[in-house]
Amino acid sequence: MSGLLNGSDNHPIRWGMLAVALAGCLLVAVANGVAAGPTGHMLNIIDDFGAVGDGEADDTEALQKAFGSRGDVYIPEGTYRFTKTLVMRGGTKIYGHGGHWNPQGATTLLYDGPEGGTAIKAKQAHFFQMRGVTLNGNNKAGIGIYWEYSCNEAMLEDVAIRQTTEHALFITRTWYAYFNRLVVRDNLGNGVTCSRKVGAVNYVNFINCRFSSNGEDYTYSDENFETGYGFGFLGAGTVCNLIGCCMEGNGGPGLYLKDWAVNFTVSGAYFEQNAQAPIRRDIELHGKDVLLNKNRPPTERWPSILTNLTGGQWGVVFDNVYIHGKNGLWLKGNGAGDPLQFRNVHGPPIIWAEHGNWEWIDSYTKTQVARLPGVFFRPKGQSYRWWAAEGIASGHPGHKINSGVRTVFPAPEEGLTLYVDSDNGDDANDGRTPEQAWQSLQKVADLFRNCTVDTPFMVVVTGQEAAHADFLDISGAGSVEIRTHGSARLGVITAKNVSCRLGISSRAVVTFRAASDVTPRLVAPDGGSITIDQLRVDRCAQVTLDGLTFAGGFGGNMRLACFGGSNVNVADCHFVGSLEMIGAIVARENCRVSVVNSTFVRVPSAGQELVATSGAVIKTEQ
């Protein structure tokens, strides 16, 4: 028979003899339920170690001998009951008949030891591997597998861990470990925990794993919302990859990142219906109808992904991720370090963001961002590359992604006060103290144009000369307050998504000499004056305007325009109209405007002072 030449002896391969040999090997492999290990000899836990596997007999001794053998051990289908912690020895390879999903019957290791104990301990078990096994904690084992310093190709593959009470898999001080097709489900406590308890967890990979229905004993409260997760990385270390994994139906978040993370990647992942415990708790407290009220906490903070990164993050990326159902993101902590990157994410219905150091890139755009307007920075030279997801949960229909380059003006978390002194200031100063005040209000305008506000900002204006700015653009989830003891003249102000508070006040207690007066307000000894051409507010939760003069240039069609469900309070303001004006105050899109003790002059005709359309309401009081 002719055939391909064997490179070693130049003789043709005898394909018929090779086929018979391969068939024989295949029959042996099928009969044993597993292929032979690298040693060429597969030990059998029943024949070689005396195990029974009926779920009744105590197989602890047989299992421990097998786990400490440093050989290749086959455990046939059956339930192997053990009553104390099994200690894995490095180099041992365990092969089961099949894990949790095997329709032909699985190899199950059943823990029946002390409550709260550890079922299997893999400590310094280098090159240890386990395949095709289900570990059942029997709701007695606190930890299913405790994994410490088990490195160098140590592996779990086609392994299921169920019914533990604290952590199904607890990993600490480990590197070069692999977890393939791991199923962690139906545990009363957490699923997988990577912790820095003993040491860093570096270079671990979870591929095609499933973390579901964990945290079944989890009860929601403000103190323990971080528990009951499917997968947790708790300040663990560097280089952790979750590829093609599924996290669904967990009592807590599907994924929880805490303290800090470096080079943490989630790719091709699926999230669905996590943070179920808050739902159950809500039903217990308020009945089934509570699910219809999505705006009442804690139901609006069901996180599939929860971060509380207080120590920082570097290289944390979510790529090609699908979040299904009501679940969203909850980003806590200060977000120090590189921004979190969300690339190609099918967006959740809502994002709770308590810090702004993240990016939303090439992702599903119909995403509502609560508490943060959504400008996310990325270092690039002297500037920052940013992506903006506009829109908050205020009912405004507009959502879009913008991009550009912005310069960052750093501000502490507790807020920042900026000072402008038109008489004694200097634009070369930093504006942070009265002694270092700017001279021009345009410096503040330039600052706000190039960044968003996620902390409280106060702007204090002093000096007899009018501090002037042509255009002021404010956007952010923090608060902005502008007060003057001097005189300020502002052109057009636009404010978007200022979801905490926008306040503009002259701090003056003044009156007009006559209703026809069109001059700026008189200055009280402890106050000042602010004149504004036009103010446009869009999706601003709380706007307070006190003691201002609105006197735009000739031809301006409105002085104060409100959109996107904004709430605006106007007190002691003076509006100077024009012949072409359609309304001194115009409110649309369900805005609420309250006007107290304010005057209007040069309005073309009666009824054009206040214009409300599209569900908006303007109330007046003198």
- Residue 259 falls inside a structural domain: yes
Task: Give the pLDDT of residue 375.
Answer: 36
- Residue 393 falls inside a structural domain: no
Nearest to 88 by CA among 39, 127, 31: 127
Note every long-range contact of 610-613, with CB atoms under 8 Å and residues 24 or more positions apart, other chains counting: 610/583, 610/584, 610/585, 611/582, 611/583, 611/585, 611/586, 611/587, 612/586, 612/587, 612/588, 613/586, 613/587, 613/588
Cα 601 to the center of its chain, rounded Å = 50
Q: How many domains does the chain have?
A: 4
Q: Clarify whether residues 46 and 23 are in a common domain.
A: no
Alpha-carbon distances of 552 from 490, 507, 584, rounded to whole Å? 10, 21, 10
CB 107 within 8 A of CB 131: no
Q: Clarify whether residues 150 and 230 are in a common domain.
A: no
Task: Give phi and psi for 61, each to the nearest 5.
Answer: -65, -45
Nearest to 419 by CA among 466, 473, 458: 458
- Indicate the range of 251-255, 320-324, 384-388, 452-456 predicted with least confidence: 384-388
State how beta strands 93-96 and 118-123 pair.
unpaired
Task: Give the pLDDT of residue 601.
Answer: 79
- Indicate the range of 374-378, 413-417, 467-471, 597-601 predicted with least confidence: 374-378
CB 234 within 8 A of CB 194: yes
Q: Clarify whether residues 16 and 104 are in a common domain.
A: no
Does 570 score more than 60 pLDDT? yes
Q: Clarify whether residues 217 and 98 are in a common domain.
A: no
Q: Clarify whether residues 181 and 273 are in a common domain.
A: yes
Provide the residue range defining the domain that includes 20. 1-32
State how beta strands 143-148 and 167-172 pair.
parallel
Residue 123 or 478, more confident:
123
Nearest to 492 by CA among 534, 549, 520: 534
Nearest to 330 by CA among 371, 293, 277: 371
Residue 22 or 359, more confident:
359
Q: Clarify whether residues 427 and 321 are in a common domain.
A: no
- Residue 394 falls inside a structural domain: no
Does 29 score more than 50 pLDDT? no
Rounded Cα distance, 155 and 242, in Å: 15
Q: Clarify whether residues 212 and 194 are in a common domain.
A: yes
State how beta strands 340-346 and 479-484 pair.
unpaired
Task: Give the pLDDT of residue 185.
Answer: 93
- Residue 424 falls inside a structural domain: yes
- Residue 231 falls inside a structural domain: yes
CB 204 within 8 A of CB 229: no
Instruction: Tell me the HSE value of 344 on the side-chain side, using a 13 A CA sphere.
Output: 8
Q: Clarify whether residues 268 and 251 are in a common domain.
A: yes
Q: Clarify whether residues 212 and 303 are in a common domain.
A: yes
SS3 per-residue string spanning 373-439: CCEEEEEECCEEEEEEEECCCCCCCCCEEEEEEECCCCCCCCCEEEEEECCCCCCCCCCCCHHHCEC
- Residue 120 falls inside a structural domain: no
Task: Give phi and psi for 526, each to the nearest 5.
Answer: -100, 10
End residue of a domain, out of 356, 389, 404: 356
Does 39 score more than 50 pLDDT? no
Q: Clarify whether residues 177 and 293 are in a common domain.
A: yes
Task: Give the pLDDT of residue 520.
Answer: 40
What DSSP string runs through 234-258? ES--EEEEEES-EEES-SS-SEEEE
Strand-pair partners of 494: 473, 536
Q: Compute the average pLDDT of residues 418-425.
A: 86
Task: Give phi and psi for 290, each to the nearest 5.
Answer: -65, -25
Q: How confident is the model at residue 470 (pLDDT cuts 50, 70, 90)?
A: confident
Rounded Cα distance, 528 and 549, in Å: 11
Q: How confident is the model at residue 364 (pLDDT cuts 50, 70, 90)?
A: low
Q: Compute the average pLDDT of residues 171-186.
A: 94
Rounded Cα distance, 23 and 27, in Å: 6
Angle at 141 between CA 136 and CA 147, to 5 degrees: 90
- Continuous segment of H or E residues that includes residue 467: strand 466-475
Task: Give the pLDDT of residue 388.
Answer: 41
Mean pLDDT of the chain: 75
Alpha-carbon distances of 458 from 413, 462, 508, rounded to whole Å? 13, 13, 17
Rounded Cα distance, 389 and 374, in Å: 5
Task: Give the pLDDT of residue 356.
Answer: 61
- Continuous segment of H or E residues that includes residue 111: strand 107-111
- Residue 493 falls inside a structural domain: yes
SS3 per-residue string spanning 319-359: EEEEEECCCEEEEECCCCECCEEEEEEECCCEEEECCCCEE
End residue of a domain, out of 356, 374, 401: 356
Q: Which residue has the tokens 């706007």?
A: 543
Does 513 score more than 80 pLDDT? no
Q: Clarify whether residues 25 and 53 are in a common domain.
A: no
Rounded Cα distance, 582 and 218, in Å: 58
Cis check for the bond before 298: say yes or no (omega within 30 of 0): yes
CB 492 within 8 A of CB 472: yes
Q: Three-state SS for 288?
A: helix
Q: Compute the average pLDDT of residues 122-143.
A: 95
Task: Give the pLDDT of residue 445.
Answer: 82
pTM above 0.75, yes or no: no
Does 35 score more than 60 pLDDT? no
Rounded Cα distance, 64 and 82, in Å: 9
The amino acid at residue 399 is H
Task: Give the pLDDT of residue 70.
Answer: 93
Q: How far apart are the first and last CA of the chain?
A: 109
Does 421 score more than 60 pLDDT? yes
CB 559 within 8 A of CB 541: no
Q: Clarify whether residues 146 and 175 are in a common domain.
A: no
